[in-house]
């Protein structure tokens, strides 16, 4: 007789194909975006990044690290962009490698807003934001992590220019061979800075009421969908995560519920929701009804944050999420789908190599050997479980 985990796997569709927009994914497991700062100084992804994503192509869907939509969007050193020809060519090698192994990949379109440093901005200028409010946050620069300065508030006439940058980035993503795109509207970056009343003190058409604060988000979605179509567009949200110095909205349920309902007009493929504090506790989910948010949105619901195998199986068993994204587990486990499926031990990531560097701690984590695969299967068949419980 099999173990409890084996039985749950047999009854679960976590490892079965699922329709996402116009694509049939091989399973419901998603690789979440992970900033690793391995691009060159011009924001071009090279062979190192291509190998990294190809190694992880067994995920039903890969969502890339955050990809800067413009030179001014950057908030972390050595992060890739998608706003010039060299970057597009670099990403083409990445997408070709993933597709050669049967995978699907979306880039995460990213503008950090105020979570940046002048040393990362063109000409050393100040980062921009909805309002000139200093974040209690740090930015990864060539000199290490540094405190973010007080940003410059965007003029009203500048905002359409940034919307156009998202539009061009989406067009470039398709030219680079990506299967679709994810809009980064989470973790206290630019779009969420507009959305929350804690970070948006504007008095023009982009500030004040909930409808006005959501205007920028919806204009970005409209621009991206106009290029990619709704079936190839997703968006990431973090309703109750206070990371990067972004205090919570005064009424997260109403604000993010409004956003979810408005997104229905675009027929998006999915919303990607960070449940709880990004890379932190899930317990705060008790103060926010994520299932209500899910019911408000007509597309697929992708859940993230703190997921391990049993939690993911439970989410599918009780229909709490359509897709599960794993972040930190993918750092050290390129064959995560197989490890989860057979209950194999997970590699432990080296935190010292998370940002910057080369292949060490990036592409050198081993996959399962035939002996390890056989041992894991036999161990579980005799009633054991060797599955690590490391959170995403």
Instruction: Show which residues are catalytic.
Output: 189
Q: How far apart are CA 234 and CA 170, in angstroms?
A: 12
Radius of gyration (C-alpha) of the chain in whole angstroms: 20
Q: What six digits make up the tokens of 382?
A: 């005799």
List C-alpha distances in Å: 376 to 109, 331, 344, 386. Answer: 38, 21, 5, 7
Q: What six digits make up the tokens of 12?
A: 């679960």
Three-class DSSP category at 57: coil
Three-class DSSP category at 61: strand
Closest CA to 42 of 5, 82, 9: 82
| Pairing label, strands 23-25, 18-20 | antiparallel
List C-alpha distances in Å: 380 to 77, 104, 283, 323. Answer: 43, 30, 30, 25
Pair 79, 116: CB distance under 8 Å: no
Q: How far apart are CA 383 and CA 191, in angstroms?
A: 48
| Pairing label, strands 181-184, 105-110 | parallel
Pair 81, 74: CB distance under 8 Å: yes
**21: alpha, beta or left? (left if phi > 0; alpha if psi -120 to 50):** left
Q: Which residue has the tokens 């979440």?
A: 32
% helix, strand, coil for the chain, step of 5? 40, 15, 45
| Pairing label, strands 144-147, 138-141 | antiparallel
In sequence order, what DSSP letters do the residues of 187-242 get, joined into one string?
TTSHHHHHH-TTT----STTSSSHHHHTHHHHHHHHHHHHHH-GGGEEEEE-TT--
Q: How far apart are CA 132 and CA 240, in angstroms?
A: 22
């Amino acid at each position: 007789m099999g173990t409890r985990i084996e039985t749950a796997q047999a009854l679960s569709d976590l490892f079965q194909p699922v329709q996402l927009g116009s694509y049939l994914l091989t399973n419901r497991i998603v690789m979440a975006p992970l900033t690793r700062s391995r691009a060159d100084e011009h924001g071009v992804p090279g062979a190192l990044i291509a190998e990294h994503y190809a190694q992880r192509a067994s995920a039903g869907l890969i969502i890339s690290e955050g990809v800067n939509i413009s030179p001014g969007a950057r908030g972390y050193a050595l992060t890739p962009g998608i706003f010039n020809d060299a970057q597009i060519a670099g990403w083409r090698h990445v997408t070709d490698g993933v597709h050669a192994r049967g995978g699907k990949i979306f880039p995460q379109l990213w503008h950090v807003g105020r979570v940046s440093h002048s040393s990362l901005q063109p000409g050393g200028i100040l980062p921009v934001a909805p309002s000139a409010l200093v974040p209690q946050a740090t930015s990864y620069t060539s000199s290490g992590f540094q405190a973010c300065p007080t940003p410059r508030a965007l003029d009203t006439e500048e905002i359409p220019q940034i919307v156009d940058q998202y539009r061009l980035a989406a067009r470039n993503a398709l030219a680079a061979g990506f299967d679709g795109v994810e809009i980064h509207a989470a973790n206290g970056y630019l779009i969420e800075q507009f959305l929350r009343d804690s970070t948006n003190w504007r008095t023009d058409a982009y500030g004040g009421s909930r409808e006005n604060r959501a205007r920028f988000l919806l204009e970005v979605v409209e621009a991206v969908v106009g290029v990619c179509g709704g079936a190839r567009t997703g968006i990431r949200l973090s309703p109750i995560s206070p990371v990067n110095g972004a205090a919570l909205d005064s009424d997260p349920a109403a604000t993010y519920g409004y956003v979810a309902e408005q997104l229905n007009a675009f027929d998006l493929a999915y919303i990607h929701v960070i449940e709880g504090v990004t890379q932190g506790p899930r317990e705060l989910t008790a103060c926010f009804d994520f299932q209500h948010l899910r019911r408000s949105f007509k597309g697929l619901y992708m859940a993230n944050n703190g997921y391990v195998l049993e939690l993911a199986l439970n989410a599918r068993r009780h229909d709490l999420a359509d897709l599960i994204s794993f972040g930190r587990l993918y750092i050290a486990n390129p064959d995560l789908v197989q490890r989860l499926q057979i209950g194999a031990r997970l590699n432990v990531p080296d935190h010292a190599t998370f940002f910057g560097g080369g292949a060490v701690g990036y592409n050198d984590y081993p996959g399962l050997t035939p002996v390890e695969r056989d041992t894991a299967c036999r161990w579980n068949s005799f009633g054991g479980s060797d599955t690590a419980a490391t959170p995403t």
